[in-house]
Amino acid sequence: MSEDNVREKSDISKTGTKAIADNAPLSGSKLKKAILHLLAAAFFFSLMTFFVRVSGDLPTMQKAFFRNFFALIIATGSLVKNKIGFSVRKGNAVSLLMRCLFGTSGMIANFWAIDRLGIADANMLNKLSPFFAIIVSYFIMKEIPSKIDWMCVLIAFTGSLFIIKPSAGLASIPALVGLYGGFGAGAAYAFVHKMGKTGQPGKTIVFYFSLFSCLVTGPFMIFNWHDMSTAQWACLIAAGSSAAIAQFNITAAYQNAPAKDISVFDYTQVIFAAILGMIFLSEFPDFLSIIGYVTIIGAAVIKWSIARKKE
């Protein structure tokens, strides 16, 4: 790797001020960096889901608030430590608002669906987010996916169906709410990538998303507060911290590469979740789940191989 490439990566990761041209080809180093960030995000999001699940029966807004409150603290400290500031680059105000609106509403919808639909069906619907990210990216940035892009995403999505094995209740209102959760997440990631093209620092995006989510969920939590045990406090703190780390990584991922180039790797979250389930919850995958894992990994390998050939 040349010295210029190293300097370019450092500028983007530390300051986030280097704009990405709309029509510039995606370099191999940026693609690899984006994929690594997305894999890290998938792992920590699986940790978040695990801790939310073991936190017990608590109101949706209470879980959602703490999921973002600790992320807000970490994001604020990171901005101050790195002297990045809280400013929003010119032209990004609307995109940032859309990221906050879609991200917060999608998160609440997903948490609500998990409580009423069941974690399997709700997670399956939420895994539609990369699919929605590709669609939304086309409308807001005119990024046209190739046939291979579509094929890999559809293969990965099919693999997630083998793992989650959705029931027949997908036409219910909770299922429709869960479907919106996937759309909200996908739309939010598309706007993150749009802001990444202008050099908006990822830490700033995470800060405003976390702040917005806390302001929205806070009043509901206060008026419907449920006392928590020490174990529940610990679980929600761990969930919030995991979500913060995941949020930084997924923001960096979609800032460095379009959704059509990396979204398939988001499906590795179900593999990480399965491993956590086996180790800590004694949940062992059946034959259909194993087929799903192989299918998802296969889609990721195909996508990565094609990207390397293009490079």
Highest mean pLDDT among 2-6, 8-12, 89-93, 295-299: 89-93
Proportion of the chain above pLDDT 90, given as a percent? 22
pTM recorded for the entire structure: 0.73
CA dist list (Å): 25 to 14, 238, 257, 299: 22, 39, 10, 23
What is the total count of domains within the chain? 1
Within-domain flag for 162: no
The pLDDT tens digits for 247-282 are: 889 888 877 887 677 877 887 887 888 888 888 877
- What pLDDT, on the 0 to 100 scale, is given for residue 1? 39
- What pLDDT, on the 0 to 100 scale, is given for residue 209? 93
Within-domain flag for 14: no
The pLDDT tens digits for 33-73 are: 888 999 999 899 888 888 888 888 889 899 999 888 988 88
Within-domain flag for 246: yes
Domain span including residue 36: 26-144+167-263
Q: Sorting pLDDT into bands at 50, 70 and 90, what band is 216?
A: very high
Within-domain flag for 171: yes
Within-domain flag for 149: no
Map 89-142 to HEC letters: CCCCHHHHHHHHHHHHHHHHHHHHHHHHHCHHHHHHHHCCHHHHHHHHHHHHHC
Within-domain flag for 6: no
Closest CA to 72 of 191, 249, 206: 206
Within-domain flag for 279: no
More confident residue, 220 or 175: 220
Q: How many whole angstroms separate alpha carbon 125 and alpha carbon 105?
A: 15
Within-domain flag for 160: no
3 pLDDT above the threshold of 60:
no
